[in-house]
Structure 1
Amino acid sequence: MKVHNIMEVVVVDVLKKYKDQLHMPCTCEQCMNDVLAMTLNHLKPQYIVKDSNSAYVRALHEADRQGSTAILTKVAWAARVVAENPRCDKLRGPSE
């Protein structure tokens, strides 16, 4: 049995679209994955069974202004938290 949380795809799309506007000091894979994980942990999952339903669910989220704003707000919050508390080797000091 295979299910997929389509919110992950939606959040990844938002991250890619607004990456420059988030003004993160680092956009390495570790930092972006931390933002993704934090955001997903604060959003209601939307599971699908068939990939053919993916476009429909994604379109609903893009068309819903309030929902889109809520997702972007959570992404911006997570980006701020990650920027202030980086776990990547680029921003952490050698003694940490």
Structure 2
Amino acid sequence: MISKDNLFAISLFPYLGFLWFISRVPQMPRLALYGFYGTLLFVGITIPAGIYAKITYGKSLANLDWLHGGAEVFLTLANILIVLGFHQAVKQLREKD
């Protein structure tokens, strides 16, 4: 059986492929694209934060609210960029009509 850590690591490859493809689509809203890249930044921050939580406190990241919340801020910001980017794109399309 595959461990959750290995599954997480393997899942990065399809996401990198997704980023590669959407970054080449001219219709892709730039702000939303930055949000999708921000999700990758969230992953990049969460991994060291999880290691720090385990080494320093002997706990998983999910059990340290202040550290977990700090990492989750990056996911929240990424999601906001995605929503604003697509909202802006829809608004521009409606204004064309």
TM interval, shorter chain, is: 0.3 to 0.5
Instruction: Tell which structure's C-alpha radius of gyration is larger.
Output: 2
The answer to which structure has the higher helix fraction is 2
Bigger strand share: 1
Structure with larger RCO (C-alpha < 8 A, sep 6+): 1
Structure 2 length normalisation: TM-score? 0.36
